[in-house]
Structure 1
């Protein structure tokens, strides 16, 4: 889906969060978040009010594992992209950046921009996404620790019975 006719969308803002985990773990949490978020049902009111394309509001446009993921979308009042950039050492900590770009064509687009960007609701939503990814990273990290502890326990049990 070419949302801007091959041009570039105007920069809106960037938000950053530091996550005390490896880039691989943050990437896994990001992928998990995006996959679960892209399952917006056809009955969701935003789908028919705004005419989102794709229906979920976003589609993955480009991705390089553990480095970046670009989501794009459009609706009646805007064309937009949200790019997540991961940086830091491979073992962590990881800086996760969310860069937003968007065009709001026409009078209604400008009014929509004022309602979404001007009120700060976009900032709150973007920060919410980053914190959700951070929480998912911690849960994945805890699962990895639990899995490793279980394997170690099994190995110790096997060693005791040998």
Structure 2
């Protein structure tokens, strides 16, 4: 799957009072915690996700998985790309870490996804249209910032 070919959904950014290494650690800890529950595993099984369990080395590396995602790029302190697919969507979540001034780092999380067919359109309406995705991303970015600082 080519990440760049997926339609753009949105991007969320936050400035974190920490260096890139601390942000990378905070990102990894947050992802591990966010996707650790049995509920997430069950949900990914229900929707037919390609990856339904957590596997691979931690901190994450290419090939590591979270329920619903596979790590396709892991450049510590710089970029993490998670990709996934299930019955209703093919998607990517791209985290970028950049300097933002002395003692500060900019973290961005870009979402891209396609939702083919009628079922995909209904799923998009449920996830994107209800703002559930936005709320989840805001919560995740706040958690990353808190763990990093």
Same fold (TM over 0.5): yes
Cα distance change, pair 44–31 in 1 and its aligned pair in 2 (3 A): closer
Equivalent residue for 2:71, pick from 60, 69, 73? 60
**Offset, 1:91:** 5.4
Distance 1:43 1:102 in 2: 19
Cα distance change, pair 91–30 in 1 and its aligned pair in 2 (3 A): farther
Q: Note the aligned Cα RMSD (angstroms).
A: 2.2
With CA pairs under 8 Å and 6+ residues apart, which has the higher RCO, 1 or 2? 2
Equivalent residue for 1:75, pick from 73, 80, 86? 86
Distance 2:101 2:28 in 1: 17
- TM-score (norm. length: structure 1): 0.75
Q: Choose between structure 1 and 2: higher strand proportion.
A: 2
Equivalent residue for 1:9, pick from 6, 10, 19? 6
Whether contact under 8 Å (1:82, 1:101) holds in the other structure is yes
Whether contact under 8 Å (1:78, 1:102) holds in the other structure is yes
Distance 1:82 1:44 in 2: 18
Whether 1:30 aligns to 2:27 is: yes
Equivalent residue for 1:100, pick from 105, 111, 116? 111
- TM-score (norm. length: structure 2): 0.81
Distance 2:89 2:40 in 1: 21
**Offset, 1:7:** 6.9
Greater Cα radius of gyration, structure 1 or 2: 1
* SS class of match (1:51): coil
Cα distance change, pair 42–115 in 1 and its aligned pair in 2 (3 A): closer
Q: Choose between structure 1 and 2: higher helix proportion.
A: 1
Distance 1:13 1:93 in 2: 23
Whether contact under 8 Å (1:50, 1:75) holds in the other structure is yes
